[in-house]
Chains A and B, each alone.
Chain A
Amino acid sequence: METLKLSALPEQSKQQPINHGRFEAYVDNGGTVMAVAGKDYCVIAGDTRMSDGGYGIQTRHYTKVFQLTNKCVLATSGMQADTIALQKRLKLMLETYQKEHGKPMSTPAIAQFLSNTLYYKRFFPYYTFNLVAGVDEKGEGWIWTYDAVGSHERVKYSSQGSGNQLVIPLLDNQVAKRNQQIIQGNGDVSCDQVVSFVKDAITSAGERDIYTGDFADIVVVDKDGVRWEKFELKLD
């Protein structure tokens, strides 16, 4: 019978430091935002669910759409802490601009300024995925879409956030009339039609994406100002 050999304990030549795990600076609180520009208006929607990055819900009432001026709103998905920090920075700058120039910052100027602000933190970015939507001085509808470090593009429609992949193909098909076998509908759509369509889009995103739901803010921006509407989504 073979004797069991006891092997010596492995030598601890050095004390190993206890591995706590790295500090994680970012968390994705989820949610979807989207915007569609018409000829002289913009419709923006954002859900109000905030998750903890996993399966939990932290609140059902966190608004992702932030009004910057009478003619411009900012919709942001991503990390809530960075979103709020970014909104505060922008608000401060907008108020300073208003006092120095005697007029509010124009929507295209805000779009550029946001890009600069985001790039400023190129090496420790704001974990935010932004949409700027508004009307310019002439009353024409504009939307810009951003990545986390400020790359931006002016577009007719866009979406960002966890439900982005679900909403964007729908917008491509219905707003830009792409990928249609039989092209339906004529060019001009009214604001109410767009609002109705946006409600459908965010409801659909809420059905399939677990991070999107609870309530949605539907915001319309035109030359007369900014109108808000709360719309119910499913709570599951």
Chain B
Amino acid sequence: MYRNQYDSDITTFSPSGRIHQVEYAMEAVKQGGAAVALKSKQYAVLVSLKRSSSELGSYQKKIFVVDDHVGIAISGLTADARMLCNYMRNECANYNYVYENQMRVERLVTKVADKHQVHTQRYGRRPYGVGLLVAGFDQLGAHIYQTCPSGNFYDYKSISIGSRSQSAKTYLEKHFESFEESSLEQLIIHGLRALRETIPNTDDGLNSKNVSIGIVGENQKFKIIEDEAAQQYLNLLENEEPVEMQTN
């Protein structure tokens, strides 16, 4: 990205019709740890790679419970993500209080996107430097949404964000047609395989310390699977033949 004279203010358009500050915010998302989301008819699954600052440190939490039927995976500035997570939790709780019913996922995501948008237009407030993958299950079925610092949101069958996510996207594009009818376990394995593509060869690979899985479904409240509980899925992954990727 080139520095130019139209990028210091959020309220300044560039001559080519872009707001550079927003695009720089989206860069922050691209630098974050990878996260993968995918769904079948009955379940939505999040799989993410946790990072730690050093050997001594703990691994950064990447998946958060928002409500019984919605959870998120984050990529980017964790502090910003916490603010958005609290906002989402509050909105869901208030909706439930008033209507005695669960908030529909698209409605919630729209509210988050609107919140992002405010920070792309008002002076003195920088955009949130975090992208969310929202996994939810409501009356209309399973959903996967991506939100951006720009205020846009996208409905996906499966998606990946964060650093080196293109490799995961390539895996998902190859296999997404089979997700609809997949079982929960198959979905998680697909997610882990996609996530594995994002790890550089020099690193340790997936283990129970750096993997976080989130699942939600019709009769399944949003649950985070981590540490020992994640190990069983990692074992299933190891026992398989390595997947042949198409090489150009």
Contact = CB atoms under 8 A, between A and B. Distances in A.
Q: Do A and B come from one complex?
A: yes
Contacts of A95: 93
Interface in B33-52: none
Interface string B140-170: 0000000000000000000000000000000
Interface string B174-193: 00000000000000000000
Interface string B74-101: 0000000000000001100100110000
A92 B89 contact: no
A92 B96 CA distance: 9
A99 interface: yes
A92 B65 contact: no
A121 interface: no
Contacts of A88: 97
A88 B96 CA distance: 10
Contacts of A92: 93, 96-97
B216 to A, nearest CB: 15
A96 B89 contact: yes
A81 to B, nearest CB: 15
User: Quick one: which of A88, A92, A99 has the most chain B CB within 10 A?
Assistant: A99
A96 B90 CA distance: 8
B65 A99 contact: yes
A92 B97 CA distance: 7
A182 B89 CA distance: 59
Contacts of B65: 99
Nearest to B64: A99
Contacts of B89: 96, 99
Nearest to B66: A99
Interface in B91-127: 93, 96-97
Interface in B55-84: 65
Nearest to A88: B97
Interface in A86-135: 88, 92, 95-96, 99
A96 B93 contact: yes
Contacts of B90: 96
Nearest to A98: B65
Contacts of A96: 89-90, 93
A88 B98 CA distance: 10
Interface in A56-106: 88, 92, 95-96, 99
A53 to B, nearest CB: 26
Nearest to A96: B93
A88 B94 CA distance: 11
A99 B97 CA distance: 16
Contacts of A99: 65, 89
User: Quick one: which of A88, A95, A96 has the most chain B CB within 10 A?
Assistant: A95
A226 B99 CA distance: 27
Contacts of B97: 88, 92
B32 to A, nearest CB: 22
A151 B65 CA distance: 35
A99 B90 CA distance: 11
10 contacts: A88-B97, A92-B93, A92-B96, A92-B97, A95-B93, A96-B89, A96-B90, A96-B93, A99-B65, A99-B89
Interface of A: 88, 92, 95-96, 99
Interface of B: 65, 89-90, 93, 96-97
Given A88-B97, A99-B89, 8 more contacts: A92-B93, A92-B96, A92-B97, A95-B93, A96-B89, A96-B90, A96-B93, A99-B65
Closest 9 CB pairs of A and B: A92-B97, A99-B89, A92-B93, A99-B65, A95-B93, A88-B97, A96-B93, A96-B89, A92-B96
